[in-house]
Chain A
Amino acid sequence: GESVGLHLPTLSVQEGDNSIINCAYSNSASDYFIWYKQESGKGPQFIIDIRSNMDKRQGQRVTVLLNKTVKHLSLQIAATQPGDSAVYFCAENAGNMLTFGGGTRLMVKP
């Protein structure tokens, strides 16, 4: 889920399980969406993107789903690994301006 506040929402999963991170976006004019992974002490790292003319896109172990009707984006990570532990941000792009969602912390239990 997504929330802007003092505490990041946290998703805790067992190693090997699948993870689903959700994001709601606000701007109906946004036509491009990106998921970023941010590890401690690092900048956001590009994971996968999707354009508004698509509803699903797959990468290596990751899938992004876009539902424009309800302005919802999700990131699915298959066979989650300890190295996937990080904060995940969705971002919506309109006119070369990127607006980030609040972020979700993913914790992977060994």
Chain B
Amino acid sequence: DTEVTQTPKHLVMGMTNKKSLKCEQHMGHRAMYWYKQKAKKPPELMFVYSYEKLSINESVPSRFSPECPNSSLLNLHLHALQPEDSALYLCASSQVSGNSNQPQHFGDGTRLSIL
């Protein structure tokens, strides 16, 4: 079982809905990440939070809005999504590495379908 927990596992929503994806870790990691993964493709980085502050936004459309309420939680708020946003959304966490890199640990993702 993964130590990064994502909910819900599956989500179907219409293009006008507002929903949120949630991610939780209790490993004491202070870096958290959102990735998007399409079928048969590698994960692509969306956002990086370090010490609860957004440090990287990989030119993600504003219909995706991340939030890091505390060091254990990471949310991704969704609004007015498009059918091409259907994908697996993965959350990951890691120690903040400084000069010593640390592996990222992934949850099992939320499978999102936009109708």
Contact = CB atoms under 8 A, between A and B. Distances in A.
Contacts of B61: none
Contacts of A29: none
Interface stretch (B13-21, B38-46, B63-71, B72-80): B38-46
B42 A100 contact: yes
The range of chain B's interface size is: 20 to 34
Contacts of B55: 96
B90 A96 contact: no
Contact of A97 (B41, B43, B56): B56
Interface residues of A, number: 26
Most buried by A among B2, B33, B45, B101: B101
Interface in B81-115: 90, 92, 96-97, 101, 103-109
Interface in A45-61: 45-46, 49, 51
Interface of A: 4, 6-8, 31-32, 34, 36, 41-46, 49, 51, 89, 93, 96-103
Contacts of B104: 34, 46, 98
A4 B41 contact: yes
Given A43-B109, A101-B42, 17 more contacts: A31-B101, A34-B104, A41-B108, A42-B109, A43-B90, A43-B108, A45-B2, A45-B106, A46-B106, A51-B101, A97-B48, A97-B56, A98-B33, A99-B45, A100-B42, A102-B41, A103-B42
A104 B64 CA distance: 30
A46 B43 contact: no
Contacts of A41: 108
